[in-house]
Structure 1
Amino acid sequence: MKMTKLVILIVMIALALFLILPSLSWAADDGASIYRTKCAMCHGADLAGKPAAKIPSLVGDDAKKVSDTDLTDMIANGGKDKKPMHAFATKGVTPDQIKMVVSYIREAQKK
């Protein structure tokens, strides 16, 4: 009887870890891969932008001042200027994926 309870407890813990860990540990990797496929061609692999082409840095001081809400809007809808090259919400990028990219950018800004 005690052995059955122990097995059930171990299975429940394993299931909880299986459900929780992917969202915690792989989110940054997903954000990085989405950034590489959708954003890096313009903003650069290092997120530094291309000043000569007027493409802003995502790790510079100006980008650090932008709120998460505004950054999310810029990626999803093109921001206040409604830049069509962004507007990734209309290009098949989900809200969760956009959040992952925002998290990736914020982590890169800390380095």
Structure 2
Amino acid sequence: MINNRKIFLRNSPPERSARMIESVFRCKWSLTVYQLLAEEINRPGEMVRSVEGLSTKVLNDCLKKNIEFGIIKRIEYNEVPPKVEYKVTPFGKRFIRILDQLRELQNEMNV
């Protein structure tokens, strides 16, 4: 008898770090967002204006996903007009360091 039960579902929330990485990389803008935050471009409007082809809707989806994973956090200021900024969390800093190490590994493979 063949067991057709799926162990991993592609649309289920990632329960392991590898699934989280897969989900982040599936969003082609996540790495760009990390780069923007490293450059201290942390307001949504400024992010959209800084990247050709990035729309507000896509940015919001990307930011939401990264907030859910705890990579970045949203900071709301009680001002008029409303002000929102995004910052990398301590976990996010560790996560981004790992991504940097993956990039270094890729560079070594291309030599």
TM > 0.5: no
TM-score (norm 1): 0.30
TM-score (norm 2): 0.30
Greater RCO (CA < 8 Å, at least 6 residues apart): 1
Larger Rg: 1
User: Going by fraction, where is helix more abundant, 1 or 2?
Assistant: 1
